[in-house]
Structure 1
Amino acid sequence: MTDAHAAPGGPIKLVALGDSLTAGYRLPADAAFPTVLERLLKAKGADVSVANAGVSGDTATGGLDRVDWSVPDGTAGVILELGANDMLRGTDPKVTEGALSSIIERLKARGIPVLLAGMQAAPNLGPDYKARFDAIYPALAKRYDLTLYPFFLDGIIGDRGQHLDDGLHPNRQGVETIAARIAPTVEAFLDRIRQQPVR
Structure 2
Amino acid sequence: MIRFVTVFLAMAGLLAALPARAEPLRILALGDSLTAGYQLPPEAAFPVQLEAALKARGHDVVVVNAGVSGDTTAGGLSRLDWSLGEGADAVIVELGANDALRGLPVASARANLERIVGSLAERGLPVLLAGIAAPRNMGEDYVAGFERMYAEIAADHDAVLYPNFLAGIPITAETVLPDGIHPTQKGVAIIVEGILPKVEELIARAGAARG
For 2:84, the equivalent position in structure 1 comes to 71
Partners of 1:97 and 1:33 lie apart in 2 by: 24
The answer to whether residue 126 in structure 2 is matched with residue 113 in structure 1 is yes
Residues 121 and 157 in structure 2, CA contact (< 8 A), matched pair in contact too:
no
The answer to whether residue 104 in structure 2 is matched with residue 91 in structure 1 is yes
For 1:104, the equivalent position in structure 2 comes to 117
- Larger mean Cα displacement after TM superposition, 144-153 or 107-116: 107-116
Q: Percentage identity across aligned positions?
A: 49
For 1:3, the equivalent position in structure 2 comes to none
User: What is the deviation of 1:160?
Assistant: 4.3
The answer to whether residue 176 in structure 2 is matched with residue 134 in structure 1 is no
For 2:167, the equivalent position in structure 1 comes to 154
* Contiguous gaps of at least 5 residues in structure 1: 1-6
For 1:82, the equivalent position in structure 2 comes to 95
User: What is the deviation of 1:53?
Assistant: 0.1
- Map 1:27-42 → 2, pairs under 5 A: 27-42=40-55
User: What is the deviation of 1:113?
Assistant: 1.6
Partners of 2:208 and 2:63 lie apart in 1 by: 19
How many residue pairs align between the two structures? 192
Partners of 1:15 and 1:155 lie apart in 2 by: 23
Q: Which amino acid aligns with 1:60?
A: T
Partners of 1:65 and 1:183 lie apart in 2 by: 28
The answer to whether residue 79 in structure 2 is matched with residue 52 in structure 1 is no
Name the TM-score, length of structure 1 as normaliser: 0.92
* Contiguous gaps of at least 5 residues in structure 2: 1-19
Q: Which amino acid aligns with 1:185?
A: K
Q: Which amino acid aligns with 2:197?
A: P
User: What is the deviation of 1:15?
Assistant: 0.4
Q: Which amino acid aligns with 2:193?
A: A
The answer to whether residue 194 in structure 2 is matched with residue 176 in structure 1 is no
Larger Rg: 2
- Cα distance change on mapping 1:197 and 1:47 into 2, 3 Å: closer
User: What is the deviation of 1:20?
Assistant: 0.1
Partners of 2:119 and 2:86 lie apart in 1 by: 13
Q: Which amino acid aligns with 1:110?
A: R
User: What is the deviation of 1:51?
Assistant: 0.2
Q: Which amino acid aligns with 1:141?
A: A
Partners of 1:110 and 1:166 lie apart in 2 by: 38
Secondary structure at the aligned position of 1:116 is classed as: strand
Q: Which amino acid aligns with 2:106?
A: P
Partners of 1:143 and 1:79 lie apart in 2 by: 16
For 2:5, the equivalent position in structure 1 comes to none
User: What is the deviation of 1:159?
Assistant: 3.9
Q: Which amino acid aligns with 1:177?
A: I
Partners of 2:136 and 2:178 lie apart in 1 by: 21
- Cα distance change on mapping 1:123 and 1:144 into 2, 3 Å: same
User: What is the deviation of 1:10?
Assistant: 2.2
